[in-house]
Amino acid sequence: MSIQYIQQAICYMEEHICENINYADVAKSVHMSSYNFHQTFSFIVGMTANEYIRKRRLTLAAEELQTTDISVTDAAYKYGYESPESFSKAFTRFHGSTPKQAKRKGATLHLFNPLVIKITLEGGSIMDYRIEHRGRQQFIALVKVFPNEIINDDNDHSIPDFWEKCSERNLIEPMKLLCKEGKRDLYGLCSPVRDNEIHFNYGIGIMIDDDTDITKLEQLTSERFYGMIQSVVRRTDCRRVKQQVHEGVHHRGCILS
């Protein structure tokens, strides 16, 4: 059962939180392929496994900085950072204060507790329903081209790595903030895989609807820092998108059918 595997994965991460692990190691611990584990964990938990590890490490680092005499440098290496500078940058982004400020009494820090997954069963009654065909949807997305052969390769990490790379660069959260609370679902958008083509397009995006903050959308797409999200493509076939590549990630939003 997927829920049980995900809880086991969380326990594994907690037990090895200070070790050099990532989502691929966690996937192996529950005997799942990296791709399937990434998809399942992200869907159930709402974040990637690497993001969960990062938030837990930064929480534990803050607690230790406040309650012990550990130095910022020692905390950085203990919790998996290559340098005190990279640790300080990640710490400040997460907590809103620097590691040195965290050592002061009364410092306000963010807390991210271990996850515990609980199953609640609902339903058991008859209900009426109907299936409706929805028309074309618009998405703004970060899009990248992948080779077709990765689809059947359970050991391939390309798509999970793409999610993680975009998350680490803080490119996903600005898109989510364009939508109202309760409508910030992320979509994995995949173009049709055709026999006469060797690549397919995959995107990470949000749906654009009447409640989307258009002003923020225009601001986001106009700022140089967010150059990876330049426009909302209105075509349903993403093969027609003129793609501009920068560090492996395409510079267009995309609607995929």
Q: What is the rounded average pLDDT of the residues 241-248?
A: 30
Least confident of 87-96, 99-108, 118-127, 158-167: 118-127
Residue 231 has pLDDT above 50, yes or no: no
pLDDT in the model for residue 246: 30
Q: What is the rounded average pLDDT of the residues 200-229?
A: 70
Confidence at 179, pLDDT banded by 50, 70, 90: confident
Residue 81 has pLDDT above 90, yes or no: yes
Residue 243 has pLDDT above 70, yes or no: no
Q: What is the rounded average pLDDT of the residues 163-172?
A: 84
pLDDT in the model for residue 176: 86
Q: Highest mean pLDDT: which of 35-49, 77-91, 218-232?
A: 77-91
The half-sphere exposure of 62 on its side-chain side, counting CA atoms within 13 A, is: 26
Distances (CA, A) of 194 to 21, 121, 182, 248: 36, 40, 35, 22
- The DSSP-derived string for 14-67 is HHTTTSS--HHHHHHHTT--HHHHHHHHHHHHSS-HHHHHHHHHHHHHHHHHHH
Least confident of 31-35, 62-66, 186-190: 186-190
Top pLDDT among 100 and 220 is at: 100
Top pLDDT among 125 and 47 is at: 47
On average, the pLDDT of the chain sits at 78
The half-sphere exposure of 58 on its side-chain side, counting CA atoms within 13 A, is: 25
pLDDT in the model for residue 140: 77
All structural domains of the chain, each given as residue ranges with its CATH number in brackets, are: 2-102 (1.10.10.60), 138-250 (no CATH)
Residue 221 has pLDDT above 80, yes or no: no
The pTM assigned to this predicted structure is: 0.55
Top pLDDT among 114 and 214 is at: 114
pLDDT in the model for residue 239: 32
